[in-house]
Amino acid sequence: MDKQQLFSGKICPYCGNETIFVDSAQVYHGKSYGMIYLCRPCQAWVGVHRGTNQALGRLANAELRRWKQKAHACFDPLWKRKMEKGFTKKEARKAGYRWLSIEMNLPFEETHIGMFDVEQCQKVVELCTPYLNRLLLN
């Protein structure tokens, strides 16, 4: 599967079948957070940019969703700290992802936790944990 297909949300990377475009209430126990691409058999989904059908990343099954949450838990406090130093949210987040792209040797435009697989999320946790621990000690 090429990157364009992977990030379109329209094909499940786990089974190769087409996904369906549905309200996220179908996976969040009746609470809607917008539309998603869903592969029911794999229980994998991805949200879309509000008001569009453009996927926010790749479909994620339960294991990948857990790793994405861990990656965000380690990475987000680091870029958010820059906001305390006067950066806007956009500037801080962009600087964080630029650092991550260098550390992971990825093109900047492909560096986003929403696009990552399990191994890449694990790498985010590994890279960010020492900085997060220092941040929490201060």
- Please state, in angstroms and rounded to a whole number, the distance separating the CA atoms of residues 123 and 10: 27
Contact yes or no for 18/11 (Cβ under 8 A)? yes
Model pLDDT for residues 84-135, shown as the tens digit of each residue: 999 999 999 999 999 999 999 999 999 999 999 999 999 999 999 999 999 8
What is the reported pTM? 0.91
Q: What is the dihedral of CA 11, 53, 72, 111, to 10 degrees?
A: 70
